C-alpha cells in the first residue's frame, strides 16, 4: 500500500455524489480486541481443549532462520502429521504462529498484522535464542531483543537453531499447556493491549495500520 | 593486464595500480573523471559486468571510498575502481544509464551510508529499514550497541561461565 | 407415493451414516497417501478432531450477510443432492425422497452449492478468493458437459428419469449394469466424475501451491466447519449417485459402501498419479475431446437402444 492510499481524499460515488473519505477511519474497524473467557462448564472445556491440542494448525509463514527447521517436519523422516499438526496458508484459518529466530523491525510489523488476524484461542511458539534475549544479534540496530514485550508467547524452544526433534518436543509441551487450560495468550493480549501496543509503536516508526487489525 | 594499464595511463590520469592477483587490479581515480573512466572501461575495453559497488568509511581521514568492481568475461580480468569522496558532502554521479542493477546498489548506499546519487531512479525509497530516523547506520560514528540498549529492551542477566573470567574474579576480587 | 413424516427420521439417519462414511474415507485416503510415501501419516480419525476444533473457536469475523450465507448454501447443495438419491434399492427405509424425475433435480443441486459459495467468497473481498472463484466456476461449467451427456445417455437408454427405476433395471447380475451394456457412456461419466471431484488433474481451484487455498481463503472457525462438513457429504453423495446410475446400485449398506469405496479410490489413484491441468488447458480438453466422445456415445446409444 503506497502512502497515497491512506490520505484523505474526495471520492465520487456511483450516483455522482462526492464525499470525503478518510481511509484509516472508514475502511478499517476501530474496535479494541475483546477478552473471550473459556466456557463455564469444566468438562466441556476440557474436551474442547483436548480437541484444540490434538489438531494444531500452523500458519505457513517462515520468519527468519527458524523456517528451515520447520520444513523437515513435513518430510517422512520427522513427520509432524502424526501429531495432528498441519500447515495452513492463511492466518484466518490457523491457530499457531511459529516465530523462527530473529525478528527484524520490518518483519515484526507483518507478524503483528498476521497475528491479529488469527481467530480463536491462538498460540505463539518462539524458536531460538534470538527471541529470548537477542541471541547472536543482540547488539544489532534492526532486530528486537525480547519477543514477549510485543506478543504474548506460550512456549520458547531454545537452541540456535533447535533441531527438528527439539521442535517436536516443543509442540508436545505446547499440547500439555493447552490441555491444562493455560493457553490463554489471546486474553492476555487483550487485557494488556495498551502496553503491547505502546511497545510496538515505539519501535515501528512508520505505523500505517489501524490499531488492531481485525 | 600490463598492456591494459599502459593504455589507460595514456588516456586518463590514474594512480599506480595495486595488484591483488595476476588478473585483479585496483586503481584509484579522481571523482571528476570516475564516470567517464567507467564508461570507457564498459564500452571500449570490454568490462561489461558490474560485479558490485560498495563503500568504505575512513572516519579518521574524513573520506568515503567507493569501489566499483568491473569484470571482463572474455579475458577473465577484474578491475576495481576506487573513488574517494568527501565525508561531509557525500555525493557522486550516478551510473544507472550503464547497468540496470546500479540503482539498487545506489539505493542501498544512500540508506546505509548517506551517499547521495542525484538522478538515480527510486533513490529515496527505503531499502531495508523502514521509518529510520537516526544517522545512516553503517557509518562508523553510529554506536549500535548503545542504540540497542536504549530502544530494544535487553534482558538483564547475561552471565558468563568463562573459566578465565572466573579465575580472574577469584584471584583479583577488587578489580 | 405419499409422504410420511417418519421418512424424515430415516433420511436423517442415512445422512448421518453417509457423513461418517465420508469423514472416515477422507482420513483413510490421507493415511494411504502417507503410507505410500513411507511415513506414518495422519490419524484416520483426524477429520473429526479438526471439525470439533473449528466449531470450538471462540471468535469469528463476518464480512456481511452473503459471507455468512455462502457456506450455508454450499451445505444446502450437498445435503440437497443426497436427499433425493435413493440410497438402498428396494428398502422402504432408506430411499430418501426420491420421486419420478429426480435426476434433473439432482443436476440442479450439484451446481447450486458452488454458486452460493462463489457469492460468499466474493463478499469476503480477498483477491485470492475472487481469483479462485473465477477459476472454479469456469472449470465446473466445463466439467458439466460430460455430466449432462452421461445423464442424457442413461435417460435415453432406460427411457425414464427416475433413479429408482434405473437402478431397478440394472438388477440381476453384473451383465445388466450400465457399465457392461453401454460402456461408452460409462467412460464419459467417469470423466465427469473425475472432473467434479476436486482432485488432480482438476484441482487447480483449491491448489495450495498456486493460490493460497482459493475460495475458502477468508472462511474460518464456524464457517470453515460448515464447509468441512459439506466436504464430507457432497463427494459421497455424488459417488452414491454414480454407483446407482452406472454400477448397479446396492441392496444393502455393505455392498453400497464397498462400491462407493472402489469408485472413490479410482479418483484418488488418478489424482496421485497425474499432475494438474491449468484452467485453460482443462476447459480446452473438455470442450474438444470429451465433447466429441460424448456425442459419439450419445449417437451410439440411440442406435443400440432404439
Best residue in A45, A90, A121 to probe C by mutation, most C CBs within 10 Å?
A: A90
Does residue C172 sit at the A interface (CB-CB below 8 Å)? no
User: What's the mean pLDDT when you consider all of chain A?
Assistant: 86
Predicted local distance difference test score (pLDDT) of residue A4: 64
pLDDT tens digit string along C70-82? 888 888 888 888 8
CB nearest to C61's CB, from A79, A86, A214: A214
CA–CA distances in Å: residue A204 to residues A109, A142, A199: 7, 11, 9
Residues in Cβ contact with B115 at an 8 Å cutoff, skipping those fewer than 6 apart:
B55, B64, B66, B85, B90, B91, B92, B109
User: What's the mean pLDDT when you consider all of chain C?
Assistant: 83
Q: Is the pLDDT higher at C89 or at B152? A: B152
CB nearest to A119's CB, from C37, C217, C221: C221
pLDDT tens digit string along C27-72? 888 888 888 888 887 888 888 999 999 888 888 777 788 888 888 8
Residues of chain C above pLDDT 90, percent: 5
Q: Which whole number is the average pLDDT over A130-141?
A: 86
Predicted local distance difference test score (pLDDT) of residue A96: 92
The answer to whether A193 and A32 are in contact (CB under 8 A) is yes
Distance from CA of C95 to the nearest CA of A (A): 35
Indicate yes or no: CB of C212 within 8 angstroms of CB of A89.
yes
CB nearest to C208's CB, from A89, A92, A186: A89
- Give the burial class of A114: count Cβ atoms within 10 A of its Cβ; 0-12 exposed, 13-18 middle, 19 or more buried: middle
Predicted local distance difference test score (pLDDT) of residue C207: 64
Predicted local distance difference test score (pLDDT) of residue A171: 93
The long-range contacts involving B52-55, CB below 8 angstroms and separated by at least 24 positions, are B52/B105, B53/B102, B53/B105, B53/B106, B53/B109, B54/B105, B54/B109, B55/B109, B55/B113, B55/B115, B55/B138
Predicted local distance difference test score (pLDDT) of residue B16: 80
User: What's the mean pLDDT when you consider all of chain B?
Assistant: 87
The yes/no answer to whether this complex scores an ipTM above 0.90 is: no
What gap in Å lies between CA A171 and CA A84, rounded to an integer?
A: 10
For chain A positions 126-185, those within 8 Å of chain C (CB to CB) are: none
> By mean pLDDT, which of A192-196, B125-129, B135-139, C198-202 is the weakest?
C198-202
pLDDT tens digit string along B26-81? 999 888 888 889 998 888 888 899 999 999 999 898 899 999 999 998 888 899 99
Predicted local distance difference test score (pLDDT) of residue B119: 86
In this complex, does chain A touch chain B, defined as having at least 3 beta-carbon pairs under 8 Å apart? yes
pLDDT tens digit string along C281-301? 888 988 899 999 999 999 988
Does residue B155 sit at the A interface (CB-CB below 8 Å)? yes
The model's pTM is: 0.84
What pLDDT band is residue C2 in, cutting at 50, 70 and 90? low
Kindly tell me if the per-residue pLDDT of A1 is higher than 50: no
Predicted local distance difference test score (pLDDT) of residue A3: 57
Predicted local distance difference test score (pLDDT) of residue C3: 67
pLDDT tens digit string along B80-91? 999 999 988 888
pLDDT tens digit string along C191-249? 888 888 877 788 777 665 555 677 777 888 888 888 888 888 888 888 988 888 888 87
Predicted local distance difference test score (pLDDT) of residue C95: 72
- Extended strands (E) in A45-101: 56-59, 85-88, 96-100
Chains that touch B (3 or more CB pairs under 8 A): A
Predicted local distance difference test score (pLDDT) of residue B55: 92
List chain C residues with CB under 8 Å of A84.
Answer: 42-43, 46, 49
Amino acid at each position: 500500500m503506497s502512502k497515497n492510499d491512506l490520505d484523505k481524499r474526495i471520492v465520487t460515488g456511483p450516483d455522482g455524489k462526492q464525499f470525503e473519505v478518510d481511509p484509516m477511519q472508514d475502511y478499517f474497524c476501530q474496535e479494541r480486541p475483546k477478552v473471550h473467557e473459556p466456557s463455564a462448564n469444566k468438562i466441556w472445556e476440557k474436551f474442547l481443549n483436548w480437541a484444540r491440542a490434538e489438531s494444531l494448525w500452523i500458519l505457513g509463514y517462515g520468519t527468519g532462520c527458524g523456517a528451515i527447521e520447520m520444513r523437515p517436519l513435513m518430510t517422512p523422516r520427522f513427520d509432524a502429521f502424526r501429531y495432528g499438526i498441519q500447515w495452513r496458508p492463511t492466518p484466518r484459518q490457523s491457530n499457531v504462529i511459529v516465530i523462527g529466530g530473529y525478528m527484524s523491525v520490518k518483519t515484526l510489523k507483518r507478524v503483528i498484522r498476521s497475528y491479529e488476524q488469527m481467530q480463536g484461542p491462538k498460540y505463539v511458539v518462539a524458536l531460538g535464542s534470538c527471541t529470548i534475549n537477542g541471541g547472536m544479534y543482540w547488539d544489532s540496530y534492526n532486530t528486537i531483543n525480547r519477543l514477549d514485550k510485543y506478543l504474548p508467547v506460550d512456549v520458547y524452544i531454545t537452541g540456535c537453531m533447535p533441531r527438528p526433534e527439539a521442535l517436536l518436543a516443543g509442540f508436545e509441551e505446547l499440547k500439555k499447556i493447552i490441555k491444562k487450560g493455560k493457553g490463554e495468550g489471546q486474553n492476555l493480549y487483550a487485557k494488556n493491549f495498551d502496553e503491547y501496543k505502546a511497545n510496538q509503536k515505539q519501535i515501528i516508526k512508520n505505523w500505517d495500520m489501524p490499531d488492531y487489525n481485525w | 593486464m600490463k598492456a591494459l594499464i599502459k593504455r589507460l595511463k595514456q588516456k586518463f590520469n590514474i594512480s599506480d595500480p595495486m595488484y591483488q592477483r595476476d588478473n585483479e587490479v585496483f586503481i584509484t581515480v579522481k571523482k571528476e573523471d570516475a564516470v567517464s573512466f567507467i564508461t570507457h572501461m564498459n564500452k571500449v575495453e570490454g568490462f561489461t559486468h558490474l560485479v558490485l559497488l560498495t563503500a568504505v568509511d575512513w572516519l579518521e581521514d574524513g573520506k568515503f571510498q567507493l569501489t566499483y568492481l568491473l569484470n571482463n568475461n572474455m579475458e577473465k580480468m577484474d578491475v576495481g575502481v576506487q573513488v574517494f569522496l568527501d565525508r561531509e558532502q557525500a555525493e557522486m554521479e550516478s551510473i544507472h544509464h550503464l547497468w540496470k542493477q546500479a540503482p539498487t546498489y545506489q539505493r542501498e548506499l544512500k540508506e546505509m551510508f548517506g551517499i547521495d546519487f542525484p538522478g538515480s531512479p527510486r533513490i529515496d525509497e527505503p531499502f531495508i529499514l523502514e521509518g529510520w530516523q537516526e544517522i545512516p547506520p553503517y557509518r562508523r560514528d553510529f554506536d549500535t550497541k548503545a542504540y540497542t540498549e536504549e530502544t530494544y529492551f535487553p534482558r538483564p542477566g547475561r552471565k558468563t561461565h568463562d573459566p578465565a573470567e572466573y579465575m580472574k574474579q577469584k584471584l583479583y576480587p577488587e578489580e | 407415493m405419499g409422504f410420511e413424516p417418519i421418512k424424515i427420521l430415516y433420511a436423517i439417519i442415512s445422512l448421518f451414516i453417509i457423513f461418517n462414511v465420508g469423514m472416515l474415507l477422507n482420513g483413510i485416503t490421507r493415511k494411504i497417501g502417507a503410507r505410500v510415501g513411507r511415513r506414518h501419516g495422519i490419524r484416520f480419525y483426524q477429520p473429526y478432531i479438526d471439525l470439533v476444533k473449528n466449531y470450538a473457536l471462540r471468535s469469528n469475523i463476518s464480512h456481511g450477510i452473503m459471507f455468512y450465507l455462502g457456506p450455508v448454501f454450499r451445505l444446502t447443495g450437498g445435503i440437497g443432492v443426497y436427499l433425493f438419491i435413493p440410497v438402498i434399492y428396494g428398502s422402504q427405509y432408506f430411499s430418501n425422497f426420491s420421486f419420478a424425475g429426480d435426476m434433473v433435480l439432482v443436476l440442479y443441486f450439484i451446481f447450486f452449492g458452488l454458486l452460493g459459495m462463489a457469492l460468499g467468497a466474493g463478499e469476503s473481498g480477498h483477491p485470492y478468493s475472487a481469483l479462485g472463484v473465477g477459476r472454479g466456476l469456469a472449470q465446473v461449467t466445463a466439467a458439466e458437459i460430460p455430466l449432462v451427456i452421461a445423464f442424457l445417455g442413461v435417460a435415453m437408454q432406460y427411457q425414464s428419469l427416475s433413479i429408482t427405476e434405473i437402478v431397478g433395471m440394472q438388477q440381476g447380475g453384473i451383465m445388466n449394469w450400465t457399465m457392461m451394456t453401454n460402456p461408452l457412456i460409462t467412460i464419459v461419466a467417469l470423466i465427469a466424475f473425475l472432473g467434479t471431484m476436486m482432485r488432480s488433474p482438476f484441482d487447480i481451484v483449491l491448489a495450495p501451491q498456486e493460490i493460497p487455498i482459493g475460495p475458502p481463503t477468508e472462511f474460518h472457525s464456524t464457517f470453515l466447519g460448515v464447509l468441512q462438513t459439506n466436504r464430507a457429504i457432497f463427494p459421497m453423495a455424488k459417488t452414491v449417485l454414480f454407483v446407482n446410475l452406472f454400477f448397479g446400485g446396492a441392496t444393502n449398506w455393505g455392498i453400497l459402501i464397498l462400491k462407493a469405496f472402489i469408485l472413490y479410490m479410482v479418483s484418488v489413484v488418478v489424482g496421485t498419479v497425474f499432475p494438474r491441468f491449468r484452467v485453460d488447458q482443462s476447459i480446452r480438453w473438455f470442450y474438444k475431446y470429451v465433447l466429441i466422445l460424448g456425442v459419439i456415445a450419445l449417437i451410439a446409444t440411440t442406435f443400440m437402444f432404439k
